[in-house]
Each structure stands twice: as C-alpha cells, then as structure tokens.
Amino acid sequence: MKSDFKKLELKKYRFRLGMMFLAGFLGSMLIWSVAMAGQRTHTVFFQGEKNELNVYRIFGSKPGKTLLIIGGIQGDEPGGFLAADFYADFSLEKGNLIVVPRANFPSILKKERQINQDMNRKFMDDTTLNYEAKVVDVLKKLICESDCFLNLHEGSGFYSPTWKSVDRNPKKYGQSVIADDSILYPGENLASVDLKAMAQHVIDKINENIEEDVLHFHFNNHRTNHPDTSHKEQRRSATYYAMDVCKIPAFGIESAKVLPLEQKVRQHIYAINGFMEMLDILPQTPGIDLQKPQMTYMIISINDAIPVVVGKMHRLKINRGDSIQVHDIVANYERGLSVDVLGVGNDFNDMKKKLIINEPTRIEAKKDFYACGSVFLDFDDTKIDRGSKLLAGAGNEADTIRYKLKVNGRTLIAENYSHVNIQLGDKLIIEDILTGDIDPSEYVVNFKGFVGNSSVNTGEDRGYVIDTGAGVLMPRYSLGKKGRHYYVVATLAGNEVGKIYIDIKS
C-alpha cells in the first residue's frame, strides 16, 4: 500500500510540474529554432569597457525550456561564477541554457561585493546611472526570455528556519535555496507554480551529495512582497524582478561563504543540475576540473608595431615613454582573464588599453582575481639582477627580494630587511616586489597593521594608498605598540621570506 501511495504521489508531483511550465513552453519555442538546434552563441556586450559582459547561449538539438544561470553579480562570491563557467561549454540534447558567468566583472577583479552600487539591488525602483545600470538592463531582458532563473551566490553563516546560534538562524543565507514566495501566480488563465515544491525537490538532490547533516540545504522563503517580511531590500533584486515582472520561477542558490571553494562550486553545480533535470533540459556534461590558473604567454605590441609573444616571467625591453598594449593572454582558462599594468593602468582591466610606460614595471595576468603569471617591462638603462634565484627559506638568497615603493609619488627601491624612513602624513604605496626567478604574483606582501580590503582581507596590500596621517594604521601591530615603527612582510607558500621596516617620524 505504501509503495502504491508513493507512486500516486509521484504521478501527482510530475503532473503538477508539467502544469507549472506549460505556459512557459511557448516562450521557449520563441528562443529555439531549427536553425539554432545544437548550436552555441557568444555575445559580448560593452566590449572594451570595464563592465564587459559575456553571454553564452546553448541550444539543444531538440526544443525545450530555457534556464538562465547568472554568476558573479557580487564579486566576492567565486563559488557562483566559477560554477556558472562550466555551463558555458555545455552541449545539450534538449532544452536551452543562457549563461552569464560574470555579471559584475569589475567587482570580481576587485574581489568586492560592489563597486558603485550593489548590482543585485538595481532591478526595481532604481534610476541611478552607472555601469551597473547598463548591465542590469541586459540582464532584465535575458530574465524575461527564460522559463526559470538561477542567481548563484555565497551567503553568510548557515540558514536555519529556527534560531540555533549566532551563525545558524533565520537571518543567515548560507546553504539555502531562496525564493521570494512559496507560490508564483503568473496571471489570469495560467496555473500557479509551487516554488517551494520546486526548491525542495532540488534541495533533496543537493543533500544526497552532502554527508554532514549540518551542511544540508534548506528552503528559505523570503516572503518578499508580504507586509511583514524582514527582507524588504529584496524587492529590488533580480529574482524578485523575475517573479514580479517576468512571471517566471526564480531562485537564489546560496552556498556558505566559509566552505572551501571547490565544495561551494560543486554545491552550485548540484543545484543547477537539479533544476535542469526538473525542466527536462538534457545535457552532455563536461567533467569538473578546478586546476590552478596558469598563464602561458601574453601578446603585446610596442608603439603600435606588430605584436610579439612574451612568455611567463620573461622580460620585454622597451624605451622610456613607449606605449604598450596587451592584446591577449593565453592560459589554461579562456574566460575571466584580465591584466593589470602595475602603477600605470586603471583599477580594473588594462587589456587592450594603450598605456605609456615611464618606469620599469610588471604586467600581472589574472584569472578573475587569481594572479596567474607576470611579464616584466625593463628599460635599457635599468640595472636588474636577472640571474638571481629565490627559494623560500633558502638562507640569504632571500636577500634578492627588493620592494618597489612610492612615497608621495616618488619611487623608492628598498632592500630586503632595510628601514624606510617617512614622515607622519606621507602617502605610501607598496607597488610591487622585485624578485629572481619566482613570479612576484606568487607572494603575499602584507603591511602589518593595515587592511587594504576590509570586506575580504587576504593580507595582500600591494597597490593600496596608505595614508599614514589618516588613522588607517593600527598601533597595536606596530613595534612597541606606539604607532611609529611598522613592518611589511613578504611570504611565499605561507613561509616568511622577507621583511622591511617602515619608520614613521612625526
């Protein structure tokens, strides 16, 4: 009897899901056409601008529903945009995907939640004009082309329907699938959609792959449009726009921020696969490979001449005042690549920008916010030790490290373990470290007592303006705790390999 009952309930469930998406089928047919069957398209919006937006469409060999996947709308949540990345290369037997792996590339490069505004609060009732608004206009159109929308995030703490601790309670987001209500009402003559049932079905799929009960996902109903909701800010979010304007099911997938990166990526993939199965989108899925980003070479032109290929850790000889342009990076990843010409370019991406070089510097390649290789720009009159080799913990070979600083705009090279004297109120920038054969991007250079990025404190302090008179330094980290003698430490693979002392005189 129990077996018959379960079969009856399963039939009812499948029937209900079929009714949920019957209305969306015609919308899917508008996107899918015989000419596009089995094809992929790649559209670049705002090409050459800092907010360049890459959109990937994958069409199945057979028509079906369309799932929109957006990652990276907030740049300090890599689990989402790295998971979305996998789906840009899919082949589908049935159905369609629209994949936006990096909705907010500038904030990803800075590893910050937002730049001008929180992009996920600009979908409703916002008239502020900035790059976020331009991106959101595109995302709105994509949402309304879809049958279902997933917004991939990382959340603080662990969501629990009841209060259990400071880190596990109803106000936390981690390990939850969020909807703006339990039921979606698409409009007259259209069947309502049970969002809670959809979410719970996928949550069960996710939890099958998670052994620890404390890490299981839960359904998190924000009840966004209810008068007593505690999530009124979500009325400007992407998922609310999807539900209220486009009338489609939409969910936020929130893995817990504190989990290891690979675990977060896999949980997002479990969720996406669960929704694809529910929507009858049939994939030919590539394997998961989270290899370390590695640049092979850059393609660079000098003064608009024919571009040259420059390998990782190689040095390019130029003249003072020459213009350089990085045309491309070849690495073991194709997407999320950028370059930073240290001390010269802008705060985001210097790819394809013509830049005048007036002093020796380094071009750092990045995959998202992960440094993955360097090329050096040298002048003929620059005396740099090209033959030295630095190994972590290799005795006095660490003396080959030097520190390139700027004090009030003036360049200063400091030897390892030396003292640098500055005045209180001076503005100090740790531009880079000069090393032997090891890529400077492999190091972490940390000014003890200063936090460059308060939202994500990685300990890396290169590139930040340290205003010694603005109260940004923490005296408790200074030598003697009097706020006058600080130190900068360089580490490689967690081992200290160098240090300089910053002596501030009043």
Q: What's the pLDDT tens digit per position in 310-328?
A: 999 998 999 999 999 999 8
Mean pLDDT of the chain: 87
Is the predicted pLDDT of residue 8 greater than 80, yes or no? Answer: no
Q: Domain 19-284, what fold?
A: Aminopeptidase (3.40.630)
Q: Please tell me the number of Cα atoms within 13 Å of 369 on its side-chain side.
A: 23
Predicted confidence (pLDDT) at residue 252 exceeds the cutoff of 60: yes
Minimum mean pLDDT among 178-187, 394-403, 465-474: which range? 394-403
Q: What is the mean pLDDT of residues 198-211?
A: 96
Query: Can you give the residue ranges of every domain in the chain?
Result: 19-284, 292-384, 387-506
Q: Which amino acid belongs to residue 260? A: P
Mean predicted confidence (pLDDT) in 138-142: 97
H or E element that contains 153: strand 148-155
Residue 278 reports pLDDT greater than 90: yes
Q: What is the pTM of this model?
A: 0.72
Distances, alpha carbon 258 to alpha carbons 164, 262, 265, in Å: 18, 12, 13
CB 386 within 8 A of CB 315: yes
- Token representation of residue 295: 């640049």
Q: What is the pLDDT of residue 292?
A: 85
Q: What length is written for the chain?
A: 506
Determine the Cα–Cα distance for residues 245 and 146; give it in Å rounded to an integer: 12
Give me the mean pLDDT over the 104-110 stretch.
Answer: 93
pLDDT over 90 for what percent of the chain?
68
Note the pLDDT tens digit of each residue in 458-485: 788 998 999 999 999 999 999 989 999 9
Average pLDDT over residues 150-172: 96
CA distances from 201 to 31, 184, 240 (A): 27, 16, 21
Residue 506: pLDDT band by 50, 70, 90 thresholds? confident
How far apart are the C-alpha atoms of 191 and 305, rounded to whole Å?
A: 63
pLDDT at 192 > cutoff 70: yes
**Average pLDDT rounded to a whole number, residues 14-22:** 45
Better-predicted residue by pLDDT, 400 or 120: 120
Amino acid at 165: S
R_g over Cα of the chain: 26
Whole-number pLDDT of residue 157: 95
Residue 285: its pLDDT value, please?
55
E strand or H helix at 20: helix 2-31
C-alpha distances in angstroms, 21 versus 28, 186, 194, 422? Answer: 10, 10, 11, 67
Taking the C-alpha atoms of residue 297 and residue 350, their distance in angstroms, rounded to an integer, is 16
CA distance 59 to 37: 6
Please give the pLDDT value at position 400: 75
The token pair at 341 is 């010409």
CATH number among 1.10.1200, 2.60.40, 1.10.1070, 1.10.10, domain 292-384:
2.60.40
